[in-house]
Chains A and B, each alone.
Chain A
Amino acid sequence: MDLAQASALVHAHRTPSRPSAIEAIYATAHWLLSRERTEDAAKVFRVMLRVAPHDERGWLGLGECHERIDQPRIAAELYGAGSVIAGGSRPLSVRCLVARARALAKVVPGAEIEGILDAAESAAAAQDDEDLLALVVDERRRLL
């Protein structure tokens, strides 16, 4: 029995739907990251980005992988792209913007970071999300 046959047998009662498959991919990547298997986690996050580019978790996770191997600038670019692409129906992804500010805080002075946090705060306010607003306020206090 090869893997395809085994997979079909395991999931014979219920072929995983697209949403459940995405959740499984994310859970797998998250688990790999929690085990410090950064390279493996990055591969899975890339698969997730191909399948669900609008899901901010993929951008956040892949960026995190790059940060863990001391590549904050690359991570910042991924977060920047994610902030726009993963915004979906919203104008910007607040979490991606916050992550970008965090990554850039390691390599550049505060002026650019303040601008990013301003954008994040505006986006959070526009979404009327108190949790996101609190996240930005806390991050501003911590980084600036």
Chain B
Amino acid sequence: MTAPATILPAAGAALAPAGPADPPTSGGGTSLLPDPAAGALVGADPLSMLYLFESKDQQLGVTEGTSQITALQTERHQALQKEQQAIQKAMQAEHDHSFWDDLGSVCSEVAKVAVVVASVAVAVGTLGAATPVAALAIAGAVLSTASFVDGECHVLRSLGVDDTTAGWVDTGMAIGGSLLSMGAGFAGGGQAASSAIGRAASVVAGAGGIGSAAATIGKGEAVAREDQAAADQVASQAQSDQAARRMQFVVDETQSSDEQARRMLGTIANTKTIQDQTAVSTAAAVRG
């Protein structure tokens, strides 16, 4: 690694007629901050210009800027949620892959159901968490898997669950999966989605209760898998938390500027007042 050069360019002569023209940089390398536009402040008082802009353009400029960045934050937030969902689904897919590959007997199918039922309980339990969209996506994915498993293998029936109940569970899980996926698609949106999710959660909760017998039967084989799933969940949550913290910082940096801007107006006004008072005092002293 070679020695870095200065990172900032010379300040505009109009603003900085004296003093250091090249701000020292902390990062090194050639400057990434371009020079201010020539004459940006020629013939202008930067303090009054700032104040004028802040006060006169409050509605047009600042509000627009705030709404812009809020919209951008929303876009970024949604992108982050999608990224989290992709991570969760990838980890779930990885887990399912190794799990399904190991299955080979009816007894293992019992374990499969046990894990799925346990996963459903976990997923439904997270619906009230702080990251509802990601949780919905996980729940939707898990429920879709559960419905697929039951429809394909009919393992509930093989466990002694009567056809009527098994069919109800199958249907309930399918409805739950589709509704929850729809809720995730709405990105935590409207009232309708919320109520649909609530109904789906109720249906799935019933399915989880009926399936608890299967979980008990298969728990010997399922424990290790559940441990792995829990570890994956912790790792995934850590990733989500980290991403959330990163985004939160940027949001804080920008949103807190409302308060900072108000303070800045006060600072500008105070500075200008001091300047004016100094000028008056000087004039008075000159006049004697």
Contacts and interface: CB of A to CB of B under 8 A. Distances in A.
Interface in A1-49: 2-4, 6-8, 10-11, 15-16, 18, 20-21, 23-28, 30-31, 33-36, 43-44, 46-47, 49
B45 A53 contact: no
B50 A28 contact: yes
A82 B53 CA distance: 24
Given A28-B50, A99-B27, A49 B33 contact: no
Interface residues of B, number: 69
Contact of B15 (A7, A10, A28, A46): A28
A139 interface: yes
Contacts of B28: 102, 142
Contacts of B36: 23, 26-27, 30-31
B253 interface: yes
Nearest to A65: B26
Given A10-B48, A27-B40, A49-B257, A67 B26 contact: yes
Contacts of B256: 46
Interface of A is mostly: helix
A68 interface: yes
Interface residues of A, number: 64
Interface string A47-85: 101111110010011101001101000100110110011
A33 B23 contact: yes
Interface string B1-37: 1101001100110111001111101111110111111
Interface of B: 1-2, 4, 7-8, 11-12, 14-16, 19-23, 25-30, 32-37, 40-41, 44-46, 48-57, 60-62, 65-66, 68-69, 72, 76, 246, 249-250, 253-254, 256-258, 260-261, 263-264, 267-269, 272-273, 276
Q: Closest 6 interchain pairs by CB?
A: A27-B36, A67-B26, A7-B48, A21-B53, A23-B40, A34-B23
Given A36-B23, A47-B261, 4 more contacts: A24-B44, A43-B263, A44-B50, A50-B257
